[in-house]
């Protein structure tokens, strides 16, 4: 659990008691904006974005359960209104790959008093873990075949029979996905997050000691929804 203390009182919480019960019935406001820090499975930060329709909870005083909740708006904002001057906890849940429940609380402790009845910048950032195919990016291209005689290319590259293309994310040791080209040599991978990618198809290789070797190309999707075009040319011996 991550806990943040935002003290609007100038004295320690717990040394005074509230003159009235916590909760609705006053003029106090607690508000802010909630966002995601999106991480891949290698714990690399991909990007930060507004959290839409994320549940935010409030606890009044020393209560042991949630007293109310709201969903963040499309701009990530949330607010609790008509609060009395007293102590509150604002709680949201973020991803946690080391937790049994795969979630953990993010807690902000807030006090409203007679001098400050509004806490308007209680911004919350939550960790969100995303899969490689939890994005909007696209990588596409064509696979060409170059005929060789020994080490000498013959003619121009051409579209041959269907080829299988493999996609590797970042520094992963295994491919994440694979597709076959269509009759015109095209392939496409969609719904990709930002990051570095390696694509390969198996190619002939003169003097390599094996019949086929991976022919690789690399590139990056630099922004959300980015499109990357990578052609691969394999050898035919």
Which of 3-7, 14-18, 105-109, 142-146 bottoms out in mean pLDDT, i.e. has the lowest? 14-18
pLDDT averaged over every residue in the chain:
90
With bands split at pLDDT 50, 70 and 90, how would you rate the model's confidence at 10?
Answer: very low
Domain ranges in the chain? 2-129, 137-236
Q: Above 80 in pLDDT, residue 138? A: yes
Q: Above 80 in pLDDT, residue 15? A: no
What does the pLDDT read at residue 208?
Answer: 78
CATH 2.30.30.100 fits 137-236, yes or no: no
Q: Which fold has domain 2-129?
A: Immunoglobulin-like (2.60.40)
Q: Decide whether 2-129 matches 137-236 in CATH topology.
A: yes
* Average pLDDT score over residue span 164-190: 97
With bands split at pLDDT 50, 70 and 90, how would you rate the model's confidence at 8?
Answer: very low
* Average pLDDT score over residue span 64-92: 95
3-class secondary structure per residue, the chain: CEEEEECCCCCCCCCCCCCCCCCEEEEEEEEEEEEEEEECCCCCEEEEEECCCCEEEEEECCCCCCCEEEECCCCCEEEEEEECCCEEEEEEEEECCCCCCCEEEEEEEEECECCECEECCCCEEEEEECCCCCCCEEEEEEEEEEEEECCEEEEEEECCCCCEEEEEECCCCCCCEEEECCCCCEEEEEEECCEEEEEEEEEECCCCCCCEEEEEEEEEECCCCCEEECCEEEEEC
């Amino acid at each position: 659990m991550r806990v943040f203390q935002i003290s609007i009182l100038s004295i320690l919480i717990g040394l005074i008691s509230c003159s009235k019960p916590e909760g609705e019935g006053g003029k106090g406001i607690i508000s802010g904006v909630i966002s995601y820090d999106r991480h891949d499975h290698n714990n690399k930060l991909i990007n930060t974005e507004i959290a839409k329709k994320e549940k935010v909870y409030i606890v009044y005083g020393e209560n042991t359960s949630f007293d109310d909740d709201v969903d963040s708006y499309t701009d990530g904002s949330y607010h609790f209104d008509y609060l009395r001057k007293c102590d509150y906890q604002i709680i949201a849940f973020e991803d946690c790959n080391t937790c049994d429940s795969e979630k953990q609380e993010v807690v902000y402790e807030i006090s409203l008093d007679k001098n400050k009845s509004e806490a308007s910048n209680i911004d919350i950032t939550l960790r969100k873990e995303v899969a490689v195919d939890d994005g909007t990016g696209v990588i596409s291209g064509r696979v060409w075949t170059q005929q060789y005689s020994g080490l000498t290319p013959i003619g121009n590259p051409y579209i041959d029979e269907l080829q299988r293309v493999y996609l590797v994310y970042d520094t992963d040791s295994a491919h994440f996905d694979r597709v076959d080209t269509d009759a015109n040599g095209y392939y496409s991978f969609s719904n990709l997050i930002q990051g570095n990618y390696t694509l390969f198809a198996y190619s002939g290789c003169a003097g390599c000691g094996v019949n086929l070797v991976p022919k690789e190309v690399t590139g990056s999707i630099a922004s959300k929804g980015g499109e990357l075009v990578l052609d691969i040319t394999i050898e035919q011996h």
